[in-house]
A and B are shown apart, each in its own frame.
Chain A
Amino acid sequence: MLSLMIFIPIVTSILLFVLPQSLKVTRSLSLIASFAVMFVSFVLYSQFEAIGTMQFVEHYSWIDRYGISYHIGIDGVSLPLAMMVAILMPAVGIGLYHRNKTGFWLNLLLAQGGIMGALLALDMMLFYLFWETMLLPIFFMIGLYGYGRKHFISMKFTIYTIFGSLIMLIGILFIGNIYHEQFGVYSFSLLELQNIKLSHSEGLFAFFAFMIAFAIKVPMFPFHTWLSDTYRSAPTGAVVVMSALMAKLGVYAIWRFLFTLFYETSYELAPYFIAVGLFGLIFFGIVAMHQNHLKRLFAYSSASHLSLIVVGIFIFDIYGLLGSSYFIAAHALSSGALFIMVGMLYERTHTHSMDALGGIAERAPLFALLFAFLSLSIVGIPGTPGFVSEILIVLGAFNYNIYIGLITTTTILVAILFMFSMLSKTIYGPAHNPKMKFHDLKPLELASLIPLVLLIIVMGIFPNLFLDKIKPTAELHIEITSKNITKTIEKGDVSNVN
C-alpha cells in the first residue's frame, strides 16, 4: 500500500514523459494520480492503528551484498507528514490548474513520489536515493519555469543541497561500515543500524555528516543562504513543494535518523541546537519583517517556524515531540495553502511586491478572508492547529528549562509582527494601484482551498482526533531514548548532561 503511494506518481510521471501527451491529458492524468494517492492515504489512515511501532512494512531485498533492501514502513510521526503530502498535492494541482506546461505537471508528480519515498524509507540507501531524486524535479522546475535569474538559482540550489547530501552519503557509509565491523555483515537498514555502538568521536562525526544535509534542507541557521533566492525565483508549484513538504522532511529526518541512530550524541548536543533553533526563530522572524517580496517573506516565516519545530524536537520531551510532529503537519497545510494563494495573487497582479498591492479586501473579500485566515493560522491563533502545537512545544520547553520556555513563547509575538504588517500592506489598507483589476476566487480555486481550510479548522478544534495516532509513537520513542540515555549516564559516558 505504501509502495502505491510512492510509485503511482513516479510511474505516471515517467510514462507521461516517455509517451508525451497533450497538455489536457497530462494534466488530467497527473490529477488522477495525485487523487489516487490521496484515496490510498485515506484508506491507510483509517487502517492505521494507534500503536507505537512501524506498520504496513514492506521489505524486499535489493543489493544483497551490502544488505541494502527496499524497506518501507510508517509510524505515528511519519503518518501526519505522509497525509499532508497526499492531501496537499491534489490541492496544488487544482489550485494551479492553469499552468500550461506539461513539464510542470510531470515534475510535480516526480517530486511528490520522491518526497513520499524519502519519508517512508527505512533503509538508509533507499532514503538517500529518494532524498536525491526529489531534488531533480525542483532543479528542472526552477530552471524551466522560474523567474529572474532562474538558471543561476537552480544551479545554486542544486549544488548547495547536493553538498549536504554527499556529506551525508559518507556518513551513511561510515555507520554502515561500523555495523560491518561490529556484526560482520553489511546493513543499511535503520532498524538494524540502531544496534551499533559508537564511540564519542565517531558519534560526533556521523551526527554532523547527517546534520549538515538536514540543516541545509530545513534550513537552519547558518545554512539558510540559498533560501531567499530560491523561493523568489521558484515557480509557485515548486515553492509549495519545497516549503510545505521538503523542508518538513528535513526536520522529520533529524528526528527519524539522528535521534534513532545517535541518540547519545543528539542528547549531548541538544543544548546547542536548541540555542541555534531559538536564535533562528527570532533571527528569521526579524528578517521576515523587513521583506517586501511576498514569497521571501513567507520563506523566512517558514524558516522561523521550522526553527521552532527543531527546538521542539531537541528538548526531548513528549510534549515537544508531539507538538513538533503536529506542527509539521499543520504548517505544511497552512503554508502550502498560502503559497497556492500567493500563486493566484501573482496570476492576477503579476507582482510579488507588497508595496504594489493593497486594498484587495475591498475588491475580493473572499480572497482576503481566506488569505488572512491562512496567514493567521500560520501565526497560530487559537482555533488553528498551529496554536495547539505551539502550546505543546512551549509546554515541553518549560519542562526542559524555564528560560527556554520563555523564549519559545516569543514565536507568536514575532510571527504576529510580520504577518500583521504583511496583511495590512497587501490585503487591507489603501490600494497602491486603484485601477488594478482583481477578481475574486473562482470556483476551481475555491475547490482547492476550501477543503484545506476546513481541515485546518477541524485540526485546530479537535486536535485529539489526530494526536491520538501520533502519541503512541512519541511515547515509545521518549521511553526508549530516556532509558538508553539513563543507561549511558549511569555508565558515565556522557559528561555534560544537564
Chain B
Amino acid sequence: MLINIPNSLIILLTVLFAALTLMLLAPTKHYTKNRGFIISFAALSFALLFGIREPTHSFAEYLYGDIFSNMLIDDTFSRLFIQLFLVGTILTLLVGRSYIQRANFFQAESFSLIFFTLFGMILMSMANEFLTAFIALEISSLSIYILIGIHRSDIKASEAFFKYLILGSFVGAFYLLGMMLIYAQAHTTNFIELSRYILASDFQDQYLIIAGGLLLMITIMFKIAALPFGVWSLDVYDGAPLPITSFMAGTFKIAIFALTLRIFLVDYSFLVNIYDPLLVGAAVITMVGGSFLTITQSSIKRMLAGSSIVHSGYILIGLASMGILGSTAAPSVLFYLIAYFVSAIGAFGVLSYLSLGEEKNITYDSLKGLSKQHPVLALTLSIFMLSLAGFPSTIGFLGKFYVFNSAIEANYTWLALLGALSAFISIYYYFKVISMIYFYDEPKEETARFNIVNYKTLSDKITLISIVLASMGVIWGGIGSSLLSFLPGPDAITLATEHAIRSLSLLL
C-alpha cells in the first residue's frame, strides 16, 4: 500500500488521470464508446475503492498544508461528499448507459468532460479557500456548460447552453466581488482564518464581510436553482440531454451544497441571525414559486426540473434552521441531498431509458399505459415518484422528516407547515405520473408508444438493472432498520452525516 498518501489525493489524481487519458484517447482511432465506458468505470471503481470506507470517527487535516498552504482540507465532510460524487457519477453513467450508447451526439470528449466535472467537484468539496473554491467551481461549471450543449444540432440544447453559460458567468462575478469585499476586511481568503477573524472582531466591524456574504449567497442561490435566481433551471434542465440533466440535478447540485455548507458552517454560522430572514424568505419563495412553476408543466422532464427547484426550497429550510454547529439541521440537509439524489437520478434514468437516445418530449400523456408495456419500468418510476413526493417507506420521506424536524427544532414551525403544504402540492404532479402509468390504456397508434420492446443489448440491460437497484435503494433507505446491521440503513446514513458535520469544526 502506498504509505502516507491520503486517500482523497489518490482519488483526485485518479480522476484527473482518467480525464486526461480519455481526452488524449478521444481523437485516436482506438477510441470507441465501449472503451470509453470501460475506462470510466475502471477509474471510478478504483477511486471508489479508496473512498468507500465508512467513516467511524470525525477527522480533519490539511492536505499537504505546507505545499498547498492550507488551501485544501481532507476531512470526513469532504470524504462523504467524494463518496457521493463517485457513486453519483457511476450511477449516472450506468443509468444513462443505454441513452449514451444510442445517442450519436455523445462523442469522444463527453467522458473526459464528465471526469473534469468530477475533478472540479471533488476539489470544491475540499477547498478551504475562496479562490480555490472558485476555480474548482469554474472547472466543473465549464465542463457542465459544454455537456449541456453537446447535442449541437438541437436548438433547445444550444439555447440551454447559451443561457446557462451567460448567466452562470455573470453570476460568477458576484462571487468574485463578494470574495474581494471579504478580503478587503479580513485580509484573508482562507475559510478557517476568516472564521477566526470573525470570532475575534466586533460585530460592528464586519459590514464588508456581511455584504460579501450576501454576494456569495447570490451565486450560491443561482447555482442551486433557488428562486428568485433559479429560473434558468427549467429551460436548461429541459434542453440538456437526459443523462446530463440527471448529472446536474443529482450530483452537481450536491457539490454546490458541499461548498455552501462549508462556507456557511465554518464562517457564517456566527452571523446566522443576519442571514436567517433572507434564507427563510428564499425558502418560501422557492417552495411556493417552484410549486407554481412545476404544476403547470406538461412535459415530465420540465416537471422534474421544476420540482428540483422545490426540493432546493426544502433544503433551504434546512439551511435556514441551521444555527450552530451540532444541531440536527446540517445532517438533515446532507441526508436530504442523498435522498433527493438517488430518487432524481433514478427518475431521470427511467426517462432517458424511455427516450431511446433521442430528445423526444415525454409528456404526461405519453406515459399512458406504461404499466402494460413495461411493468418493471413502470414500478420503478412510481417508486421514484413516491420518494420525490415524500411518501412514507421511501428515503424521500425520511429526508423530509429530518428537514421538517430541524425546522421545528429551530422554532420555525410555520416554515415546516409551509414545507408540508408544498409537499402536498407536489403530491399532485407526482401522483399524476403514477396515475398516467397505471390507470390509462396505452395509446392506439404505434408511433405514440415507447419502442422499448426491442431493447436487448447489453447496455440496455445494464441500465435496467441499475435502475432497479436504485429503486431498491430508495425503499431500503426508507424502511431499512438497524436489525440488519451489515447493510447501512437510514441510521447509518444519519451517523455518517453527523460525523461529517462534526469534522468541520475540528480545525477551527
User: Measuring CB to CB, which residues of chain A are less than 8 angstroms from any residue of chain B?
Assistant: 60-66, 70, 125, 128-129, 132-133, 136, 139-140, 143-144, 150-151, 154-155, 158-159, 162-163, 166-167, 169-170, 173-174, 176-177, 180, 205
Instruction: Say whether B46 faces chain A, with CB atoms less than 8 Å apart.
Output: no
- Is there a chain A Cβ closer than 8 Å to B231's Cβ? no
- Chain A residues, CB < 8 A from B435: 143, 151, 154-155
The 4 closest A-B pairs by CB, nearest first: A166-B420, A143-B439, A129-B392, A132-B392
B348 within 8 A of A: no
Binary interface profile of B, 393-424, with partner A (CB < 8 Å = 1, else 0)? 10000100100110011000100110011011
Given A65-B494, A169-B420; 9 other pairs, CB 8 A cutoff: A63-B398, A63-B491, A136-B391, A144-B439, A150-B439, A151-B440, A169-B401, A170-B404, A205-B413
- Please give the residue numbers on chain B whose beta carbons come within 8 Å of chain A beta carbons, in ascending order: 391-393, 398, 401, 404-405, 408-409, 413, 416-417, 420-421, 423-424, 427-428, 431-432, 435, 438-440, 479, 481-483, 490-491, 494-495, 498
A residues less than 8 Å from B391 (CB atoms): 132, 136
Task: State A155–B482 Cα separation when bound (angstroms).
Answer: 35
Name which of B408, B416, B424 has the most chain A CB atoms within 10 A of its CB.
Answer: B408
Q: Which residues of A contact B439 (CB under 8 A)?
A: 143-144, 150-151, 154
The CA of A61 and the CA of B405, in the complex, are separated in Å by 19
- A-chain residues with CB within 8 Å of residue B494 when the two chains form the complex: 63, 65
Q: How far is the CA of A346 from the CA of B350 in the complex (A)?
A: 41
CB < 8 Å neighbour of B404 from A70, A151, A173 = A173
CB distance from B478 to the nearest CB of A (A): 9
Report the Cα distance A151→B421, complex, angstroms.
23
Given contacts A133-B393, A159-B427, A162-B427, contact A170 B491 (CB under 8 A): no
The chain B residue sitting closest to A161, CB to CB, is B427
Report whether B491 and A64 are in contact in the complex, using a CB–CB cutoff of 8 Å.
yes
Q: In the complex, what residues of B have CB within 8 A of residue A133's CB?
A: 392-393
Chain B nearest CB from A475 CB (Å) reads 34
Interface of B, secondary structure class, is helix
> What are 11 A-B residue pairs whose CB atoms fall within 8 Å in the complex?
A61-B481, A63-B490, A65-B491, A66-B405, A70-B481, A129-B393, A140-B438, A151-B439, A167-B417, A170-B404, A177-B409
Q: How far is the CA of A144 from the CA of B441 in the complex (A)?
A: 10
User: Which residues does chain B contribute within 8 Å of A162, judged by CB atoms?
Assistant: 424, 427
User: Once the chains bind, are A60 and B417 in contact (CB under 8 Å)?
Assistant: no
- Contact between A158 and B431, CB atoms less than 8 A apart: yes
Q: With A and B bound together, what is the CA distance between A28 and B84 in angstroms?
A: 46
A125 to B483, CA, bound (A): 17
Quick check: A60 and B408 within 8 Å, CB to CB?
no
Please measure, in the bound complex, the distance between the C-alpha atom of A163 and the C-alpha atom of B426, giving whole angstroms: 11
CB pair B404 A169 closer than 8 Å: yes
Which listed residue (B420, B424, B427, B482) contacts A62, Cβ 8 A? B482
Residue of chain A at shortest CB distance from B428: A159
Given the complex, which residues of A lie within 8 Å of B421, measured CB to CB? 166
- Considering only CB atoms, which chain A residue lies closest to B418 in the complex? A170
User: Cα distance A180–B408 when bound, in Å?
Assistant: 11
A362 → B minimal CB distance (Å): 40
| Dominant secondary structure at the A interface | helix
A63-B491, A129-B393, A132-B392 known; A167 vs B420 contact (CB < 8 Å): yes
Set of chain B residues within 8 Å of A177, measured between Cβ atoms = 405, 408-409
- Most chain-A CB neighbours within 10 Å: which of B413, B428, B490? B413
Chain B residue with the shortest CB-CB distance to A139: B431
**Contact residue among B393, B401, B431 (Cβ-Cβ distance under 8 Å from A155):** B431
Inter-chain contact B481/A166, CB cutoff 8 Å = no
Chain B residue nearest to A146 (CB atoms) is B439
Alpha-carbon gap, A295 to B315, bound state (A) = 45
Scoring A65, A180, A205 by chain B CB atoms within 10 A of each residue's CB, the highest score goes to A65
Contact residues in B for A163 (Cβ distance below 8 Å): 424
Known: A64-B491, A132-B391, A169-B420. A176 touches B405 (CB 8 A): yes
Instruction: Compute how far the CA of A263 lies from the CA of B432 in the bound complex, rounded to whole angstroms.
Output: 39
Cα-based distance from A180 to B420 in the complex (angstroms)? 21
Q: Looking at the complex, which one of B424, B432, B479, B495 makes contact with A65 (CB distance below 8 Å)? A: B495
Partner of B392 from A70, A128, A167, A174 at Cβ < 8 Å = A128
| Cα(A63)–Cα(B435), bound, Å | 32
B residues near A70, Cβ cutoff 8 Å: 481
Q: Which residues of B contact A180 (CB under 8 A)?
A: 409
When chains A and B are docked, how far (Å) is the Cα of A43 from the Cα of B457?
Answer: 54
Q: For residue A143, which residues in chain B have a CB less than 8 angstroms away from its CB? A: 435, 438-439
CB-CB under 8 A from A129, the residues of chain B are 392-393, 479
Contact A170 B438 (CB under 8 A): no
Interface centre among B435, B490, B498 (most CB of A within 10 A): B435
Query: Which residues of chain A come closer than 8 Å to B432, judged between CB atoms?
Result: 155
The answer to whether A64 and B427 touch across the interface, beta carbons within 8 angstroms, is: no
The CA-CA distance from A150 to B428 in the complex, in Å, is 16
**Which B residues are in CB contact (< 8 Å) with A60?**
481, 483
- Are B490 and A166 touching (Cβ within 8 A)? no
Kindly report which residue of chain A lies nearest to residue B389, judged by CB atoms.
A162
Beyond A66-B405, A173-B408, whether A166 also contacts B423 by CB under 8 A is yes
Instruction: Choose among A154, A159, A174 the residue that contacts B424 (Cβ–Cβ < 8 A).
Output: A159
Min CB distance A20 to B, Å, is 8
Q: Which of B408, B427, B431, B490 contacts A174 (CB 8 A)?
A: B408
Chain B minimum-CB-distance residue to A65 = B494
Q: How far is the CA of A61 from the CA of B416 in the complex (A)?
A: 26
A173 touches B401 (CB 8 A): yes
How far does the alpha carbon of A155 sit from the alpha carbon of B430 in the complex, in Å? 11
Query: What is the CB-to-nearest-CB distance from A332 to chain B, in angstroms, rounded to a whole number?
Result: 25
Min CB distance, B336 to chain A, in Å?
A: 15
CB distance from A177 to the nearest CB of B (A): 5
Of listed B405, B423, B438, residue having the most chain A CB within 10 A: B405
Which residues on B sit within 8 Å (CB–CB) of A125? Answer: 401
The docked-state distance in angstroms from the alpha carbon of A466 to that of B267 is: 66
CB distance from B455 to the nearest CB of A (A): 20
How far, in Å, is B415 (CB) from chain A's closest CB? 10
Residue of B nearest to A175 (CB): B408
Q: Do residues A170 and B392 form an inter-chain contact, with CB atoms below 8 A?
A: no
Flag if A166 contacts B392 (CB, 8 Å).
no
- Report the minimal beta-carbon distance from A216 to chain B, rounded to whole angstroms: 12
Contacts of A167 in B (CB 8 A): 417, 420
* A69 (CB) vs chain B CBs: closest residue: B481
* A169 CA / B416 CA spacing, docked (Å): 10
User: Are the C-beta atoms of A173 and B416 separated by less than 8 Å?
Assistant: yes
**Residue picked from A66, A125, A128, A158, most chain B C-beta under 10 Å:** A66
Rounded to whole angstroms, the CA-CA distance of A140 and B420 in the bound complex is 23
- Residues of A close to B490: CB separation below 8 A: 63
Once the chains are docked, how many angstroms separate the CA of A129 from the CA of B420? 16
The complex places the Cα of A163 from the Cα of B404 at a distance, in Å, of: 16
The residues of B that contact A140 with a CB separation of less than 8 Å are 438
Q: Is the CB of A159 within 8 A of B423?
A: no
Distance in angstroms between the alpha carbons of A154 and B432 in the assembled complex: 10
Give the CA-CA distance A398 to B72 in the complex, in Å.
Answer: 77
The answer for the CA separation of A65 and B391 in the assembled complex, in Å, is 21
Bound-state CA distance A151–B369 (Å) is 13
Contacts of A136 in B (CB 8 A): 391
A132 contacts which chain B residues (CB < 8 A)? 391-393
Which of B408, B440, B483 sits near A170, CB closer than 8 Å? B408
- Tell which of B391, B420, B424 has the most Cβ of chain A within 10 Å: B420
Q: How far is the CA of A228 from the CA of B490 in the complex (A)?
A: 40
Which single residue of chain A is at the shortest CB-CB distance from B404?
A173
CA A159 to CA B431, docked complex, whole Å: 9
Contact B424 A166 (CB under 8 A): yes
Q: How far is the CA of A174 from the CA of B420 in the complex (A)?
A: 13
Instruction: State the CA gap A443–B506 with chains docked (Å).
Output: 76
**Chain B residues, Cβ within 8 Å of A205:** 413
- Distance between Cα atoms of A64 and B498 in the complex (Å): 14
A173 vs B414: C-alpha distance when bound (angstroms)? 12
